[in-house]
Amino acid sequence: MDVLIGQLATGLSLGSILLLAALGLSLTFGQMGVINMAHGEFIMAGCYTAYVVQQLVSSAGVSLLISLLVGFIVGGAMGALLEVTLIRRMYNRPLDTLLVTFGVGLILQQVARDIFGAPAVNVIAPSWLSGGVEILGAVVPKTRIFILVLAVVCVAVLAIVLKVSPMGRRIRAVVQNRDLAETSGISSRKTDITTFFIGSGLAAVAGVALTLIGSTSPTIGQSYLIDAFLVVVVGGLGQIKGTVIAAFALGFLNSFIEYSTTASLAKVIVFVIIVIFLQVRPQGLFTVRTRSLA
Amino acid sequence: MRALLGRWQTWAGFGVAAVLLFAVAPAVLSDFRLSLLGKFLCFAIVAVGIGLAWGRGGMLVLGQGVFFGLGGYMMGMHLKIADAQLRGTSVPDFMQIAGVRALPAYWEPFASPAFTLLAIVLVPTVIAAVLGLGVFKRRVKGAYFAILSQALAAALAILLVGQTSVGGSNGLNNFRTFFGFALKDPANKRMLYFIAAGVLLVVVAVVRQLMYSRYGELLVAVRDGEERVRFLGYDPANIKVVAYTVAAFFASIAGALFAPIVGFIAPSQVGILPSIVFLIGVAIGGRTTLLGPVLGAIGVAWAQSLFSERFPSEWTYAQGLLFIVVVGFFPAGLAGLGALFKRIRRTKDAPVVLDPDPEPEAEKVGAAT
């Protein structure tokens, strides 16, 4: 029983991390069809933002809250810049976008390496997040609960913004039918930048959160990127609920397979399961039904 | 008449390439550099396959490191067992150090050279065919396929690092013999180079035949308008699977040659980064052409060997920039420059569209579902 609870807690925690990392992707990849391989580097930018803010602000608790905000803006600005300079020019070539943004990611990694050095750096977690909480006999670190709460908050805010705000309505309109949205007087260019800002900002928020549970190195983004992409692929395009369900499903799957085999074998098994899953639902869990082919 | 001329040109091209690879290069280059060129040729063999799958077939294969690694590891396991037998021990040296006394069961078949060679051909081919059928039959394509192929590379690299029975993150190295030939002997190193050069020529010839056959036409048709091909009564999935499998097969052979030529095979040759880096050369040379990928891959590998150690930081920036500039703004690669100049000369004031690879309708943003 303890083992089961422990694995459930691990899965929940892993799922929330995946969710945070994938939430921004599901906006930019899922909704705009743009594959941004530099998304992982935006996560990394969030990590280093937390590191830099902590060097400036001595109190760990205050620095965490500040860096969540600053991280969102830094990541968002980087994303918006990427959209304006490169991605905008290649909306009709999604596969080429993938490679171009991979190049951007390589450069950003090297920039981080040149500024902060290749060895990992650490961010001190605030004291009110040290220790753990006992849930049904299993001890769960408070940092992981914080990440879970943060993920839930991010999803809720994003869902509300998309649902009710004028900006959210514009984003959804462009996603559903770009031409018609433009005809109705919505500037798809401005909307694209907004979407990218939010998506990349969320990546950086995920990065800030990740500093609570591990150290930061220039390649940290890469290790989360593939998993985040798989979450979006399984979740399906264009809807947040798919991303949420897929993130937690993959989190639980990973933690239980890892428990019965090894961490490295679990990755391969999860991959096989995903390929099999795509046999049943090639479009992922949820999809916006259209009449377009394929 | 033109077909005849084309055939002559092809034969002449092969003749020149053969003379360069088999006569000029060994005469001009030192043993060390020849071996280095052999390594570049291995990358070129992978690039030919990528050119077929990506350039002609429109499938962004981001996981060729998987098949490269499979070939390399299987060859490496055989070489390690052969070395151990030569020394009279039951297990390879790195296992001895780790205190392993008996050969793991999955190593044992690789003691046989015939089994090893067969496995190098069959294992990656079967994996690629099964994965390809599973993915393409369900019409999973475009970015989804790219991400899956990349996830496979990530998973295999992580798996290999965790397996101490294949050397963990060090991989397999320190090979002494290659099917009985001592690798220390420069003559045998030369032989390995000749094998790589011969394989490259054969691989290029095979892809040329594929490109100019009816199958090649279909492959390009699938790239440019998959739905139309389907409506004409073909199954695009089968067409894609063949190209993907051929590319995987080439990558595996290249890996199997890479291991003895360079002297090691490790997870660092398998993961995401090496798998994507294979694409740079292909993109620079011209992904849709026959020789572009070959020359591009050799050029990039050569530049990497020149710069990556002396200027590691700058080299990474250069790699990133190459991706951005070439893929983003010159998708036709160097091969496209010739066509560009020709067109500029012909139509001085008309705008030049440089897009050899128009994405199929279905992959446009709005229709991504």
Three-state DSSP string of chain B? CHHHHHHHHHHHHHHHHHHHHHHHHHHHCCHHHHHHHHHHHHHHHHHHHHHHHHHHCCCCCCCHHHHHHHHHHHHHHHHHHHHHHHHCCCCCHHHHHHCCCCCCHHHHHHHCHHHHHHHHHHHHHHHHHHHHHHHHCCCCCCHHHHHHHHHHHHHHHHHHHHCHHHCHHHCEECCCEECCEECCCHHHHHHHHHHHHHHHHHHHHHHHHHHCCHHHHHHHHHHHHHHHHHHCCCCHHHHHHHHHHHHHHHHHHHHHHHHHHHCEECHHHCCHHHHHHHHHHHHHHCCCCCCHHHHHHHHHHHHHHHHCCCCHHHHHHHHHHHHHHHHHHCCCHHHHHHHHHHHHHHCCCCCCCCCCCCCCHHHCHHHCC
Q: What is the pLDDT of residue B52?
A: 95
Q: What is the pLDDT of residue B23?
A: 86
Secondary structure (3-state) at A182: helix
Q: What is the pLDDT of residue B348?
A: 58
Whole-number Å distance between alpha carbons of B121 and B27: 32
Interface confidence (ipTM) of the complex: 0.85
Mean pLDDT of chain A: 87
Nearest-Cα distance to chain B for A65, in Å, is 33
Integer CA distances (angstroms), B165 to A121, B101, B255, B271, in order: 32, 12, 19, 19
Q: Is the pLDDT of residue A3 over 90?
A: no
pLDDT level of residue A42 (50, 70, 90 thresholds): very high
Nearest-Cα distance to chain B for A58, in Å, is 32
Interchain CB contact of A91 with B (< 8 Å) = yes
Residue written as token pair 């303890």: A2
Q: Which chain A residue lies closest to B276 (C-alpha atoms)?
A: A99
What ranges make up the beta strands (E) of A35-164?
Answer: 132-135, 138-141
Integer CA distances (angstroms), B52 to A36, A98, B272, B324, in order: 25, 19, 20, 22
Other CB atoms closer than 10 Å to residue B146's CB: what's the count? 23
pLDDT level of residue A288 (50, 70, 90 thresholds): low
Which helix (H) or strand (E) segment holds residue A85: the answer is helix A60-85
Q: What is the pLDDT of residue B117?
A: 95
Instruction: Kindly report which listed range (A5-9, A101-105, A193-197) carries the lowest average pLDDT score.
Output: A5-9
Instruction: Kindly report which listed range (A94-98, A126-130, B306-310, B321-325) carries the lowest average pLDDT score.
Output: A126-130
Q: What is the pLDDT of residue A1?
A: 62
Q: What is the pLDDT of residue A262?
A: 79
Cβ <8 Å between B359 and A94: yes
Q: Say which residue, A284 or B297, is predicted with more confidence.
A: B297
Residues 166 through 205 of chain A touching chain B, CB cutoff 8 Å: 177-179
- Which whole number is the average pLDDT over A101-123? 92
* Residue pairs spanning A and B at CB distance below 8 A: 163
Q: What is the pLDDT of residue A166?
A: 93
Q: Is the pLDDT of residue A26 over 90?
A: no
Which residues are paired to B181 by β-bridges?
B178
Q: Which chain B residue lies closest to A268 (C-alpha atoms)?
A: B155
Question: Helix, strand, coil proportions of chain A in percent (round to 5)?
Answer: 75, 5, 20
Residue in A91, A229, A265 closest to B365 by CB: A91
Of A19, A8, A33, A9, which Cα lies nearest the Cα of A245? A19
Cβ <8 Å between A32 and B142: no
Tokens linked to B112: 């046989």
Residues of B in contact with A91 (CB under 8 A): 365
Tokens linked to B259: 């291991």
Residues of chain A with pLDDT > 90, as a percent, come to 39
pLDDT in tens, chain B (369 residues): 455 567 788 888 888 888 888 888 888 888 889 999 999 999 999 999 999 999 999 999 999 999 999 999 999 999 999 999 888 888 888 888 888 888 888 998 999 999 999 999 999 999 999 999 988 988 877 788 888 888 889 889 988 988 888 888 889 988 988 988 888 888 898 999 999 999 999 999 999 999 999 999 999 999 999 999 999 999 999 999 999 999 999 999 999 999 999 999 999 999 888 999 899 999 999 999 888 999 999 999 999 988 888 888 899 999 999 999 998 888 888 877 777 777 777 665 555 455 555 444 444 433 333
Q: What is the pLDDT of residue B1?
A: 47
Whole-number Å distance between alpha carbons of A65 and A70: 9
Interchain CB contact of A128 with B (< 8 Å) = no
Tokens linked to B34: 């020849």
Residues of B in contact with A90 (CB under 8 A): 328
Residue in A99, A100, A278 closest to B138 by CB: A278
Nearest-Cα distance to chain B for A94, in Å, is 7
Cβ <8 Å between A268 and B155: yes
Cβ <8 Å between A95 and B142: yes
Residues of B in contact with A263 (CB under 8 A): 158, 162
Interchain CB contact of A264 with B (< 8 Å) = yes
Q: What is the pLDDT of residue B367?
A: 38
Q: What is the pLDDT of residue B365?
A: 39
Interchain CB contact of A219 with B (< 8 Å) = no
Q: What is the pLDDT of residue A293?
A: 47
Residues 12 through 51 of chain A touching chain B, CB cutoff 8 Å: 29, 32-35
Nearest-Cα distance to chain B for A175, in Å, is 7
pLDDT level of residue A292 (50, 70, 90 thresholds): low
Interchain CB contact of B368 with A (< 8 Å) = yes
